[in-house]
Amino acid sequence: MRSSTGLSQNWTALLVLTSAFSLFTPAVSVKHENFKTCDQSGFCKRNRQYADKAAGLGTQWEAPYRINPQSLSWNEGQLQGTLLKSINSNGETVRLPLTISFLESGSARLTVDEEKRQKGEITLRHDSKARKERYNEAESWAIVGGLDLSSTASISMFRDKTVVKYGPDNKFEAVITYAPFGIDFKRDDATQVKFNDRGLFNMDHWRPKVDNPAPEVKEGEEAPVVPAGEDESTWWDESFGGNTDTKPRGPESVALDITFPGYEHVYGIPEHAGQLSLKETRGGSGNHEEPYRLYNADVFEYIMDSPMTLYGAIPFMHAHKKDSTVGVFWLNAAETWVDIIKEKEAHNPLSLGIGSKTNTKTHWFSESGLIDVFVFLGPTAKDVTKAYGELTGFTQLPQEFSIAYHQCRWNYNSDEDVKEVDRKMSKHQIPYDIIWLDIEYTDDKQYFTWDPLTFTNPLGMLKQLDESKRKLVAIIDPHIKNKAGYHVVEELKKKDVAVHNKDGSIYDGWCWPGSSHWVDCFNPAAIKWWTGLFKYDAFKGSAANLFIWNDMNEPSVFNGPETTMPKDNLHHGNWEHRDVHNINGMTFHNATYQALLERKKGEIRRPFVLTRSFYAGSQRLGAMWTGDNQASWEHLAAAFPMIINNGIAGYPFAGADVGGFFGNPDKDLLTRWYQSGAFYPFFRGHAHIDTRRREPYLAGEPYTGIITQALRLRYALLPAWYTAFHEASVDGTPILRPNYFEYPSDESGFAIDDQFFVGETGLLAKPVVTKDANNVEIYLADDEIYYDYFTYQTYSGHGKHSIAAPLEKIPLLMQGGHIIPRKDRPRRSSGLMKWDPYTLVIVLNKAGQAKGSLYVDDGETFDYQQGAYIHREFSFAAGVLESKDIGTKGKLTDKYVKSMKSVGVEKIMIVGAPAEWAGKSSVKVGKEESVLEFHASEGGTAAWAVVKSPKVVIGEDWTIEF
């Protein structure tokens, strides 16, 4: 839901409450003046100037940080010591405790703190109640494992450096240089990542504010020249948009340059609206002028191709070159900016660039907190995402309904409106699983209530939905209406579990309800209280098929600086908001997730909670979406790079508003968007309150029919999607996989971000995202045979291939060598498909072979953790199709497999069937036979065959001989 960044803090309550809906109308685009540029952010400007100074001095630059060798100690995979920062020509230094940890997983970690801050030996200005330490609790929110220290790492200390060998077979190496401080991370004797290569490491240490009075000037005398010093204009306070940040600890930013030698492409650090391969940020043709910013904010109608901050922040970056991927994770929850430059390096000055390599040089700076950064040396992209996931957790295995189609708008007007949409979707045989309610369902914007005039019978509404195994999602945001007699806000105040302002009083700001307070979900007491509000007997009108949407959790504050909360607000433990801002949304998401686990004693279910704001670790809690997009072809095209980027950054359960949130899409755009949405991991149609209704049945023919076919494609492939989600939940592999991830040697494909593979199905999709397109060029990275999903037209040969794509057609290929599980019987919802039989599509490669897998569980509970699932591998070779168990048996395995005894395979399709099968009429299934129908190749399409009713059970071992 969009906010109104145009509200000033001086508006009266009356104006807000009486004028809200006339004021909150779509603007032309984002209001840039409401969000800072780097030059308007004191620490960003300061660190960029620091980098410019270092670059200007070149080899004469002397970085002021060095390790004290006498301070170093080694213990069980961890090196500790002290960095010394020289602060003047008198030799004064600041002591910065340093820890370098080498982990059993093969990852390495650098943390740097500030000794005076650790010990509390500083004085806060303005009698502030804020903590004196640097924020050191990001780990407790983002990290859930993978911190075991290496038992095999070995160390060698020298006069000017320390060398540590670690990782698998000790093939990784860290060379830690003392003066100036720096670290080179090597794999197989080659440097992959360099810390402080350009000498830009920087920590703004604490110092007291010194007020230097202006020198007295006698009459007739000239004022003395004051020596130029550092620009302190933003050290002690900083104003923007009518708000002043009081900065009680003064300047405290941290910065580090990280170089990837030989790597031309870097990806990740979502969320931004731009291409997958990140651009340079220091100007030049086609480049950005601003750094990529990570500062979760309510940015509606965001612009394309921009490093501007959006709703979420994951400070995790991949770097890729031929056959090698490495990564870094910058664990800091404060406002962060990342500069990127790429420099060509030619070893022979006469080579004219031939044989040169590109070094990508990044510069990371955050406003406060520690330097805390992890390094992953790969060598594959899958290795990097897995290592990151071992730290921050893998994506939630969601309830199965949640990966089907969601129907949403701001707002369905009443419970009868919801029921009518539900009936019409069924009447038109359009599948969907979930219908959504935005804020208007509440009584006067009070969460955990229903409007008594329009939602008079919520349980009746939920009951009708449940008859088709459908669900309802309702929005609940972190702002709580400040209204006398509203039980939620009264409890919030009584229990003192709200965010406080800098003076220690409950913070009051403006959001949809008008005057509001914000739940402080850093506080364990707040989470406990919040959990109680969702119990069925507390949230009247709720039921088991009601789930939750957390919006506006950046947090969005209409009258706050940059439409968010003041940085000097105080959270639980007296941490300033500046320290925790990017984690804030995740804490609210977490509280709601915890609340939905057990709404009734003994009834534990997997939650579904959608979030807009996110951080590293949010993937454990549910889905996200890309926020308030526009009904334009540009926004449709931007969605896939954003979703893919989220996936490689460890958060694959991602989607964009189908149709665009703002504006009214024409019917071609709406149709193409549904065809794209069928390949979003999170698939939801959504629209602004001022837009025309656009439920699929309103489009009219041929559009409704085409949209319905796209939805049915998604539903038919739900077994493949759920299997891909399972894989992501156990090893972090993205669901939408870009070319570089699958083909790490193919340099021509490293920047491709408009086509992708779905899981390990071999499905290669390139939905149409441009206006009036009737064909697309799809890039094949190998010489394998590919088949059109719908016609079995064949394509082969490395390079680009043109595929016809009239409006009714989704460009979708099947790569030879895969077996794709489907369910082909059309139903109203995924819940009604539970007992339907499977179809297996065997897509033969040039060698006449194929392989695939299927994961199945109850799609609802956590019983799979005790073995209640089916995990099968299918393989076809030498004319034999085999199904075998690849699961790990647990306490509930036998019971679950027995419950699935009635679910079998109704059909087996073989695409690329051998010509010699033309005379075949049957196949051998155990001791029985089943009929084989063969269809010969014609007009460029592949031959195919079908086995009907093979009478095999999905959960058992079997073989079929062709």
Q: Which of 628, 742, 788, 857 is catalytic?
A: 628
Which helix (H) or strand (E) covers residue 952, if one does?
strand 944-953
d(CA 402, CA 470): 10
Nearest to 909 by CA among 883, 876, 938: 876
- Which residues share a beta bridge with 871? 855
Q: How many CA atoms lie within 13 A of 624 on its CB side?
A: 37
At 841, phi and psi to the nearest 5? Answer: -105, 110
DSSP letter at 163? Answer: E
Cβ contact 265:275 at 8 Å: no
d(CA 703, CA 864): 40
Which helix (H) or strand (E) covers residue 511, if one does?
strand 509-511
Q: How many CA atoms lie within 13 A of 219 on its CB side?
A: 0
Cis, bond preceding 702 (omega within 30 deg of 0): yes
Nearest to 849 by CA among 745, 950, 762: 762
The two three-digit tokens of residue 249, written as one number: 């600890």
The two three-digit tokens of residue 490, written as one number: 């009264």
How many of the other CB atoms lie within 10 Å of CB of 918?
A: 12
Would you call 383 a catalytic residue per the annotation?
no
H-state helical runs in 123-189: 138-142
Which helix (H) or strand (E) covers residue 160, if one does?
none
Cβ contact 356:75 at 8 Å: no
d(CA 127, CA 134): 18
Nearest to 790 by CA among 803, 800, 801: 803
Residues 6+ apart with CB under 8 A from 234: 42, 43, 45, 46, 251
Query: 3-class SS at 815?
Result: strand
d(CA 7, CA 444): 20
The two three-digit tokens of residue 657, written as one number: 């508003």
Helices 524-533 + 487-495 axis angle, to 10:
160
Full strand arrangement of the beta sheet holding 405-407: 654-655, 623-625, 609-611, 546-550, 471-475, 434-437, 405-407, 683-685, 657-658
- Which residues share a beta bridge with 336? 294, 366
Would you call 554 a catalytic residue per the annotation?
yes
Cβ contact 932:921 at 8 Å: yes
Nearest to 762 by CA among 817, 840, 823: 817
Cβ contact 803:794 at 8 Å: no
Span between the terminal Cα atoms of the chain, in Å: 55
Cis, bond preceding 224 (omega within 30 deg of 0): no
Q: Which residue's entry shows tokens 């395979």?
A: 905
At 807, phi and psi to the nearest 5? Answer: -55, -35
Q: Which of 113, 335, 383, 551 is catalytic?
A: 551
- Which residues share a beta bridge with 388? none
DSSP letter at 338? Answer: E
Would you call 568 a catalytic residue per the annotation?
no
Nearest to 575 by CA among 116, 134, 124, 119: 134
Which helix (H) or strand (E) covers residue 753, if one does?
none
Pairing between strand 479-481 and 238-240?
unpaired
Nearest to 839 by CA among 901, 789, 904: 904
Q: Which of 280, 390, 554, 568 is catalytic?
A: 554
**CA angle, residues 490, 496, 502, in degrees to nearest 5:** 120
Nearest to 765 by CA among 810, 808, 733: 810
Q: List residues with catalytic annotation.
A: 551, 554, 628
